[in-house]
């Protein structure tokens, strides 16, 4: 019997279905749900994925698609600059020490070592971990972050770069990571913004013209399958899309104090540089809308820096 959808931030059932999605990855149907209290958008049901299932999702094809989008000198340098800018912000709040990066999809995280941090990496994808070892010499632990274990008070800084939206239970993960942070340690999370202007317009048009018309229109104009996604929600990969309110509430309820929030656009040189990608006329128009939204705190990227309470 199907259970009642519960918001993983508010822990309440004050949620409504906003779309029915059909995944191209596992063939399952999911409902896109929205919490009326905090604005969290999430997939229902949340799939219970084994470690082996995750290897199929985040295997060679996924990793190579991610890597090829930045795999040249220009792309790598843009991400190195972005990482340095992020660390300039982080180091205002914590002294250099030991850092944990969740994910090993790119080489730019080497910047932390160059700045004097002792760096640990954990990556769920065995293929991504092996690629990181082979190409960049990283020492990577292959594990779901839910299963990763280390002594309490190990890290001064933890980074989740576009990771939290993939987790089955972000609440439990953030609680666990808090125990790994030393007193005064900080965590940096960047992800997609459920309330970005571009997303709000997309969702509004979808609601106005209806699902069937919207799906056919996007397929014709952009060659994309709208029936598998709602905004940036694409189960079983992206299981959550956070609003500023929901992510800050989640951090507060798991023992952190938020110290800074950023809502930039795609293409921002600190948070989401766009490199090696070709955009059509319609997509360039959406990027322009996103840049306008960012001026009013409605960019498509959400980044939150928080300190262990």
CATH number (domain holding residue 150): 3.40.50.150
Alpha carbon of residue 283 to chain centroid: 21
Question: Is the distance from CB of 308 to CB of 178 less than 8 angstroms?
Answer: yes
Which pLDDT value is given to residue 222? 74
Whether 4 maps to a domain, the answer reads: no
Whether 103 maps to a domain, the answer reads: yes
**Structural domain boundaries enclosing 151:** 15-308
**Composition of the chain by helix, strand, coil, percent to 5:** 40, 25, 40
What's the mean per-residue pLDDT of the chain? Answer: 93
Question: Is the distance from CB of 67 to CB of 75 less than 8 angstroms?
Answer: no
* 309 pLDDT tier (thresholds 50, 70, 90): very high
Whether 47 maps to a domain, the answer reads: yes
Whether 21 maps to a domain, the answer reads: yes
pLDDT reading at 41 higher than 60: yes
| HSE value, Cβ hemisphere, 13 Å, CA-based, for 30 | 30
* 65 pLDDT tier (thresholds 50, 70, 90): confident
Whether 30 maps to a domain, the answer reads: yes
Nearest-angstrom CA–CA distance, 177 and 187: 9
93 to 39, 104, 113, 305: CA distances (angstroms) = 29, 24, 18, 9
Which pLDDT value is given to residue 1? 43
Q: What total of structural domains would you count in the chain?
A: 1
Whether 7 maps to a domain, the answer reads: no
Nearest-angstrom CA–CA distance, 139 and 110: 11
Q: Which residues of 85-115 are buried (b: 16+ CB within 10 A; e: fewer)?
A: ebbebbeebbeeebbbbbbbbbbbbbbbeeb
Q: Which residues of 64-75 are buried (b: 16+ CB within 10 A; e: fewer)?
A: eebbeebeeeeb
Which pLDDT value is given to residue 132? 92
Residue range 176-180: average pLDDT? 97
Residue range 18-34: average pLDDT? 95
Q: Which residues contact 200 (CB under 8 A, 6 or more apart)?
A: 298
Q: Specify the 3-state DSSP secondary structure of 56.
A: helix
Whether 111 maps to a domain, the answer reads: yes
Say if residue 45 is preceded by a cis peptide, omega within 30 of 0: yes
Parallel, antiparallel, or unpaired for β 98-102 and 118-123? parallel
Question: Is the distance from CB of 265 to CB of 287 less than 8 angstroms?
Answer: yes
Structure tokens at 30: 């999911």
Nearest to 107 by CA among 136, 129, 78: 136
Nearest-angstrom CA–CA distance, 141 and 42: 28
Whether 10 maps to a domain, the answer reads: no
- Write out pLDDT tens, residues 119-160: 999 999 999 999 999 989 999 999 999 999 999 999 999 999
Tell me the backbone φ, ψ of residue 186, rounded to 5 degrees: -125, 155
């Amino acid at each position: 019997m199907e259970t009642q959808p519960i918001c993983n931030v508010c822990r309440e059932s004050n949620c409504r279905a906003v779309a029915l999605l059909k995944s191209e990855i596992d063939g399952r149907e999911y409902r896109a749900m929205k919490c009326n209290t905090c604005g969290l958008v999430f997939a229902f049901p949340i799939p219970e994925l084994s470690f082996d299932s995750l290897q199929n999702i985040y295997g060679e094809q996924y990793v190579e698609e991610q890597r090829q989008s930045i795999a040249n000198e220009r792309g790598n340098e843009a991400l190195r600059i972005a990482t340095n800018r992020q660390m300039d912000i982080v180091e205002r709040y914590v002294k250099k020490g030991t850092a944990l990066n969740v994910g090993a999809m790119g080489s730019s995280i080497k910047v932390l070592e160059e700045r004097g941090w002792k760096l640990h990496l954990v990556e769920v994808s065995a293929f991504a971990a092996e690629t990181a070892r082979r190409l960049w010499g990283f020492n990577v632990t292959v594990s779901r972050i839910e299963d990763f274990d280390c002594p309490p008070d190990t890290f001064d800084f933890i980074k989740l770069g576009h990771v939290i939206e993939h987790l089955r239970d972000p609440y439990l993960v953030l609680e666990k990571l808090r125990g790994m942070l030393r007193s005064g340690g900080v965590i940096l999370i960047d992800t997609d913004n459920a309330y970005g202007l571009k997303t709000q317009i997309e969702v509004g048009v979808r609601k106005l013209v209806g699902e069937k018309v919207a799906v056919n229109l996007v397929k014709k104009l952009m060659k994309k399958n709208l029936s598998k996604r709602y905004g940036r929600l694409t189960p079983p990969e992206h299981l959550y899309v956070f609003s500023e309110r929901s992510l800050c509430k989640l951090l507060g309820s798991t023992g952190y104090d938020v110290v800074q929030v950023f809502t930039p656009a795609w293409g921002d040189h600190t948070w989401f540089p766009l490199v090696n990608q070709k955009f059509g006329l319609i997509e360039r128009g959406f990027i322009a809308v996103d840049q306008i939204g960012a001026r009013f705190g409605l960019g498509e990227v959400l980044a939150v820096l928080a300190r262990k309470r």
